[in-house]
């Protein structure tokens, strides 16, 4: 009989195994994977899971036999979660409900999805109120907890879904529209609030930062928090007379949605658009008449990337050779609307370059909250083929015009008077001409004649023109940064290619219109102040020749006494070692004896794009704040 029972037992085991019963004593096994990808997988779904529920939500639904119910009957599942909350008072059930609605919104078409987004929003705000009530009652400590972080994630996705739904239907500016969530709660859309640095009508479009991928920036300048980062595209309009608005200007905005309840019990949703260039925290009014400070989600890189992407293509060689055609685009530009509570930092590009060359630096500087809070960034654009004195005249006139336009309040004046200039290569020469100790020094030393004698030789009309090209100092600038600047010229300007470029440059109309007067002044002074050896007007490239009258005069010109200046110099071979060259400008030409600081970076001529140079400017700007605040 034993063989029979043994056979019977084995057959029974096979039948049990076929029905899913397991007799393996090692049903649970573990395998080890030390890869970084495995570690990311472990943590990434704890808060929210883009492909499903968060870990806490899934564990709870499995543990309470609700895993299979929420897809078939989501309302019943939400009702059970509400019952759990009513019995226990534990806000975690509200977060699980919010996460469930977040996930179900991704599984439905947009008509049904908006109802789940609204339910997600409802549970997130209910959780926030419950947490705040517990804090005020002393039942909980206002410290970081995991549920609050998950709530912020779910809230942001709800706001994102609501925004997308309303934008697609052109309802962002609407009010009195009624929406319902999946459980039948009614929400009335109230008039939006716009806390922007420009009027609402100046905004052409709002779009989600999440819709874009920005490439080739060294840093992604983002910060997690509450709300949905947006790109606000500004309509092309010249808001100021002295500060130009570039095409495609954008501002960084974060969208928040406020829940408001009327005395009659109606619930309103109000969209709040906050310009994060103006503020980075938001005070949310609660229904208990208290206020809650929120750190907003921030994204500065995506709006900057969208702005750059929409700029027209520049032919930098053509821009240098044809200043005649480029003159209308010369001037002082903003990359953010003017704010009187911020200090202007003006960036001036170098030879055959453009303001876009500063993008990596600006993006990286904006990663520092203290810099964002206290500084605003401007650019000076000019054709580098024109004589440096001519370009410097334009820059000076633009800055004095900005002073007149913006210094209308004590706050605006105080911050304008703390302006910082940053010049790269030829832009550093323009910077230096803004900060001369003696406005007549350049003329006197080029002509080797005192200014009073020069004045005596000129007719009134000619004297007026000559004075326009002298260099009165800027009284509102007390700090400057020179990056790879050829203070004593560069041998490159003597090369055959440079000489060919000089012959091809077509000087601007505003310069050529004075051609006869300029030549007459030069003749009256018996000087070659404006003409080179080929009897042509000096160009910007001519001015870089170490043997040119301009370079020889500028190299010894003293800067004003109340100026603090710094040098950042490239060395193509060694880091931190004075000497050598960046391939264009040698150390002996970039070095200044009395600089407050000097940093030598292993770099080619584009030293301003190197991380070490960016960090140096960050240090200098922080130092500037400390110095100015102590005055």
Would you state the pLDDT for residue 54? 79
608-616, long-range: CB < 8 A, 24+ apart = 608/357, 608/358, 608/361, 608/424, 608/483, 608/484, 608/568, 609/357, 609/360, 609/361, 610/570, 611/218, 611/364, 612/575, 613/361, 613/483, 613/568, 614/360, 614/361, 614/364, 614/365, 616/566, 616/568
- Provide the pLDDT confidence category of residue 217 given band limits of 50, 70 and 90: confident
Would you state the pLDDT for residue 156? 92
Would you state the pLDDT for residue 487? 96
Would you state the pLDDT for residue 2? 52
Residue 201: pLDDT above 80? Answer: yes
Cross-strand partners of 233:
205, 250
Least trusted range by pLDDT, from 20-24, 333-337, 514-518, 576-580? 20-24
Residue of 265 and 71 predicted with greater confidence: 265
- Locate 104 and state its tokens: 């179900």
The rounded distance, in Å, linking the Cα atoms of 485 and 590 is 5
The rounded distance, in Å, linking the Cα atoms of 103 and 107 is 7
Would you state the pLDDT for residue 219? 86
Share of residues in the chain with pLDDT > 70 (%): 78
Would you state the pLDDT for residue 115? 95
pLDDT digits over 21-78, tens only? Answer: 444 444 433 444 555 454 445 444 445 666 678 777 888 888 776 766 676 787 888 8
- Provide the pLDDT confidence category of residue 282 given band limits of 50, 70 and 90: confident
E strand or H helix at 115: helix 110-136
The rounded distance, in Å, linking the Cα atoms of 150 and 144 is 11
Would you state the pLDDT for residue 460? 78
What is the dihedral angle through the alpha carbons of 113, 116, 117, 123, rounded to the nearest 10 degrees? -170
Burial class (CB in 10 A: 0-12, 13-18, 19+), 475: exposed
Q: Which 3 state secondary structure label does DSSP give 514?
A: coil
**Pairing verdict, β 419-424 and 343-348:** parallel
Global pTM? 0.84
Q: Tell me the average pLDDT across 279-303.
A: 77
Would you state the pLDDT for residue 19? 39
For the chain, the first-to-last Cα distance in angstroms comes to: 106
Q: Tell me the average pLDDT across 116-130.
A: 90
Residue 345: pLDDT above 90? Answer: yes
Residue 285: pLDDT above 90? Answer: no
The rounded distance, in Å, linking the Cα atoms of 422 and 81 is 59
Residue 143: pLDDT above 50? Answer: no
Would you state the pLDDT for residue 196? 95
21 CA to centre of own chain: 61
Would you state the pLDDT for residue 71? 67
Least trusted range by pLDDT, from 46-55, 95-104, 107-116, 431-440? 46-55
What number of other Cβ atoms are within 10 A of residue 326's Cβ?
Answer: 22
- Lookup result for tokens 């100790």: 437
Residue 18: pLDDT above 50? Answer: no
Share of residues in the chain with pLDDT > 90 (%): 46
Q: Tell me the average pLDDT across 110-118.
A: 93
Residue 528: pLDDT above 80? Answer: no
Least trusted range by pLDDT, from 112-121, 305-314, 406-415? 305-314
Average pLDDT along the chain: 82
What number of other Cβ atoms are within 10 A of residue 587's Cβ?
Answer: 17
DSSP letters for 547-608: TSHHHHHHHTPPBPTT-EEEEEEEESS-SS-S-SBSSSSBHHHH--TT-SEEEEEE-SS-GG
- Residues whose CB is less than 8 angstroms from the CB of residue 72 and which lie 6 or more positions away in sequence, other chains included: none
Least trusted range by pLDDT, from 50-64, 120-134, 267-281? 50-64
Would you state the pLDDT for residue 15? 42
Query: According to DSSP H, which parts of 244-382 are helical?
Result: 301-310, 316-321, 323-326, 359-365, 369-374
Residue of 511 and 403 predicted with greater confidence: 403
- Lookup result for tokens 């912020």: 152
Q: Tell me the average pLDDT across 295-303.
A: 92
Nearest C-alpha neighbor of 432 from the set 471, 403, 470: 471
Q: Tell me the average pLDDT across 572-588.
A: 93
- Provide the pLDDT confidence category of residue 506 given band limits of 50, 70 and 90: low
Would you state the pLDDT for residue 38? 46
Would you state the pLDDT for residue 149? 79
Residue 164: pLDDT above 50? Answer: yes
Residue 508: pLDDT above 70? Answer: no
Q: Tell me the average pLDDT across 261-276.
A: 93
Least trusted range by pLDDT, from 227-231, 385-389, 487-491? 385-389
Would you state the pLDDT for residue 424? 97
Residue of 492 and 285 predicted with greater confidence: 492
Would you state the pLDDT for residue 64? 75
């Amino acid at each position: 009989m034993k063989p029979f029972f043994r056979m019977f037992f084995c057959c029974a085991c096979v039948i049990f195994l076929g029905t899913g019963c397991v007799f393996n004593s090692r049903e649970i096994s573990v395998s080890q994977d030390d890869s970084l990808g495995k570690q990311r997988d472990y943590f990434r779904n704890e808060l929210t899971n883009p492909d499903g529920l968060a870990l806490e939500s899934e564990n709870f639904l499995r543990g309470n036999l609700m895993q299979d119910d929420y897809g078939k009957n989501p309302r019943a599942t939400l009702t059970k979660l509400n019952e759990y909350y009513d019995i226990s008072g534990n806000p975690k059930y509200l977060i699980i409900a919010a996460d469930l609605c977040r996930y179900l919104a991704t599984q439905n078409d947009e008509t049904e999805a908006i109802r789940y987004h609204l339910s997600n929003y409802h549970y997130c705000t209910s959780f926030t109120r419950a947490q705040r009530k517990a804090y005020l009652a002393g039942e909980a400590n206002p410290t970081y907890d995991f549920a609050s972080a998950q709530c912020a994630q779910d809230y942001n996705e709800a706001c994102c879904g609501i925004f997308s739904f309303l934008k697609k239907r052109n309802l962002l500016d609407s009010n009195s529209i009624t929406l319902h969530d999946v459980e039948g709660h009614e929400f009335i859309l109230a008039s939006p609030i716009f806390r922007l640095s420009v009027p609402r009508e100046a905004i052409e479009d709002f779009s989600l930062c999440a819709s874009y991928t920005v490439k080739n920036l060294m840093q992604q300048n983002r910060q997690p928090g509450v709300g949905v980062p947006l790109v606000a595209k500004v309509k092309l309009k010249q808001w100021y007379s002295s500060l130009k608005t570039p095409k495609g200007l954008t501002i960084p905005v974060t969208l928040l949605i406020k829940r408001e309840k009327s005395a009659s019990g109606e619930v309103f949703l109000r969209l709040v658009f906050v310009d994060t260039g103006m503020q980075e925290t938001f005070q949310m009014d609660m229904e208990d008449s208290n206020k809650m400070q929120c750190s907003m989600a921030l994204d500065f890189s995506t709006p900057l990337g969208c702005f750059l992407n929409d700029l027209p293509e520049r032919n930098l060689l053509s821009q240098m050779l044809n200043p005649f055609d480029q003159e209308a685009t010369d001037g002082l530009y903003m990359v953010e609307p003017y704010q009187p509570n911020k200090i202007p930092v003006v960036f001036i590009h170098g030879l055959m370059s453009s303001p876009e060359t500063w993008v990596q630096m600006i993006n990286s500087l904006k990663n520092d909250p203290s810099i964002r809070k206290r500084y605003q960034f401007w650019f000076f654009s000019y054709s580098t083929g024109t004589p440096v004195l001519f370009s410097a005249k334009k820059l000076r006139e633009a800055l004095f015009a900005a002073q007149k336009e913006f210094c209308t309040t004590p706050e605006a004046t105080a911050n304008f008077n703390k302006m910082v200039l940053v010049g790269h290569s030829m832009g550093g020469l323009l910077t230096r001409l803004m900060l001369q100790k003696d406005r007549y020094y350049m003329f006197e030393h080029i002509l080797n004649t005192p200014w009073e004698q020069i004045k005596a030789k000129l007719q009134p009309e000619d004297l007026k023109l000559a004075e326009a090209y002298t260099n009165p100092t800027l009284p509102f600038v007390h700090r400057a940064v020179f990056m790879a600047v050829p203070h004593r010229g560069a041998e490159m300007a003597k090369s055959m290619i440079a000489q060919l470029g000089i012959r091809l440059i077509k000087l601007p109309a505003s310069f050529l219109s004075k051609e006869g007067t300029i030549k007459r002044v030069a003749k009256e002074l018996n000087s070659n102040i404006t003409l080179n050896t080929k009897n042509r007007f000096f160009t910007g490239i001519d001015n870089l020749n170490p043997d040119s009258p301009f370079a020889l005069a500028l190299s010894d010109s003293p800067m004003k006494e109340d100026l603090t200046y710094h040098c950042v110099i490239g060395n193509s071979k060694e880091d931190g070692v004075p000497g050598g060259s960046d391939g264009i400008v040698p150390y002996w030409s970039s070095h200044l004896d009395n600089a407050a600081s000097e940093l030598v970076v292993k770099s080619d001529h584009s030293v301003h794009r190197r991380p070490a140079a960016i960090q140096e400017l960050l240090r200098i700007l922080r130092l500037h704040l400390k110095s100015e605040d102590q005055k």
